[in-house]
Amino acid sequence: MAKRFANKSAFITGASSGIGAAVAEALAREGARVALAARRIEKLDDVRKRVESASGVALPVVCDVRDKASLDEAVRKTVEAFGGIDIVLANAGFGVVGQFARLDTDAFRAQFETNVFGVINTIYAALPHLLESKGRLGIVSSVQGRVAMPSSSPYTASKFAVYGLAESLYHELAPKGVSVVCIQPGFVASEIRKVDNNGVFEARRRESAPNGLIVPVEKAARDIVDALYRRHFDAVITGHAKLIAGLSRHFPRLTRAIILKSTGGNVDPRDKPKRRSPSKTP
Ligand SMILES: NC(=O)c1ccc[n+]([C@@H]2O[C@H](COP(=O)([O-])OP(=O)(O)OC[C@H]3O[C@@H](n4cnc5c(N)ncnc54)[C@H](OP(=O)(O)O)[C@@H]3O)[C@@H](O)[C@H]2O)c1
């Protein structure tokens, strides 16, 4: 079968782990040369080896999406190696969670620096090359960029922001031949729920998402690659996310009522009222 991205090149942020790494491998299997951008070089090297062992071409480029200069340099190295960029996936992100009252302005600022300004930095660095190739821009939001959940107001707000950014750019870039695809995953197996509010990975953290709702990252990556190929704006990934996004679009009040009823306004275990130990006296 013909490879859908033969002779194309991709620049992927957050490619050292989870969704970004899996999309890099999937795009490489479809013929694309992939630039792998993130901070942890040893993890990028693992992904490079996996791509190369499947006869693909990968270029690790260390960068921090909060730092525009390091993104400019990563894009420059990519263009130098591949001759241009046809696909950009602005994917790097993490989640600041907890009840609003426990957090502060700095927590919001840190969340927005990576999840929102990191995406903006990526787009400014790569856009001239996408305009030249009439390429594809994938922006990773979340189903939480469409439906708000309690105990994660910084993450939810950042993903709503990214959804709005993507939709605005869809209108601006379509006439110029660049498609924008806004990727909105539900629960996907990755490191994200093991990363703390400072963006640090903690191996001993437990997966907090309900087991039955977590989709394997390879399946999510295949769906993301299909969405990029089709150039359709809305790409809601996982059946559970499609259900919630659909319910919220058609029945917003009902969806809010269900979420409030089922969460009690708080899904942070630290704030759940502790069970009283049974009293010894009547
Ligand atoms: N998994 C899910 O259930 C889910 C659901 C909805 C949306 N998403 C979104 O999907 C995206 C990818 O997350 P994931 O689930 O694959 O999580 P992950 O396994 O934790 O991967 C996050 C990636 O982002 C990179 N990253 C974080 N901060 C960075 C920075 N400042 N500069 C450069 N790279 C940075 C990390 O690499 P380094 O640490 O090496 O820099 C890593 O490669 C995120 O935007 C997330 O919000 C995930």
pLDDT in tens, 227-249: 999 999 999 999 999 999 999 99
Per residue in 176-223, pLDDT (tens digit) is 999 999 999 999 999 999 999 999 999 988 888 888 999 999 999 999
Q: What is the mean pLDDT of the chain?
A: 94
Q: Which protein residue has the closest C-alpha to ligand 1 atom 23?
A: 14
Contact 66, 94 (CB under 8 A): no
CATH fold of the domain at 9-243: Rossmann fold (3.40.50)
* pLDDT > 90 fraction of the chain, expressed in percent and rounded: 90
Give the ranges where 54-183 is alpha helix by DSSP (H).
68-82, 105-115, 117-133, 153-173
pLDDT for res 85: 98
Measured between alpha carbons, how far is 222 from 279 in angstroms, rounded to an integer?
55
Q: CA 114, 117, 122 angle in degrees (round to 5)? A: 95
Active site residue 229: no
Cβ neighbours for 15, distance < 8 A, ≥ 6 positions apart: 21, 23, 24, 34, 35, 36, 37, 38, 44, 47, 91
Average pLDDT over residues 20-33: 98
pLDDT for res 282: 37
What is the 134 CA–ligand 1 centroid distance (Å)? 26
Buried/exposed code over 150-178 (b: 16+ C-beta within 10 A; e: otherwise):
bbbbbbbbbbbbbbebbeebbeebeeeeb
Q: Dihedral, CA atoms, 136, 163, 89, 185, nearest 10 degrees? A: -120
Confidence of residue 272 (pLDDT cuts 50, 70, 90): low
Q: Which protein residue has the closest C-alpha to ligand 1 atom 17?
A: 192
For residue 249, the tally of other CB atoms under 10 A from its CB is 11
Q: Is the dihedral of CA 28, 216, 60, 85 positive or negative?
A: positive
| Burial degree of 55 (CB within 10 A; 0-12, 13-18, 19+) | exposed
Whether 64 lines ligand 1, by a CB cut-off of 6 Å, is yes
Measured between alpha carbons, how far is 133 from 209 in angstroms, rounded to an integer?
39
3-state SS class at 9: strand
pLDDT for res 274: 52
What is the 14 CA–ligand 1 centroid distance (Å)? 5
Q: Dihedral, CA atoms, 26, 29, 34, 40, nearest 10 degrees? A: 50
Whether 191 lines ligand 1, by a CB cut-off of 6 Å, is yes
pLDDT for res 281: 35
Which of 192, 197, 215 has the most ligand 1 atoms within 8 A of CB, as the residue to mutate?
192
Instruction: Give yes or no for residue 269 having a pLDDT over 90.
Output: no
Q: Which protein residue has the closest C-alpha to ligand 1 atom 44?
A: 93
Active-site position among 124, 155, 163, 229:
155
Measured between alpha carbons, how far is 120 from 42 in angstroms, rounded to an integer?
26
Q: For residue 19, which atom of ligand 1 is closest to its CA?
A: 16
What is the 73 CA–ligand 1 centroid distance (Å)? 20
Measured between alpha carbons, how far is 137 from 229 in angstroms, rounded to an integer?
11
Contact 237, 185 (CB under 8 A): yes
Average pLDDT over residues 62-83: 98
**From residue 56, how far is each of 11, 33, 198 by CA, in Å?**
14, 7, 34
Whether 91 lines ligand 1, by a CB cut-off of 6 Å, is yes
For residue 128, the tally of other CB atoms under 10 A from its CB is 11
Whether 244 lines ligand 1, by a CB cut-off of 6 Å, is no
* Global model pTM greater than 0.85: yes
Domain positions in the chain are 9-243
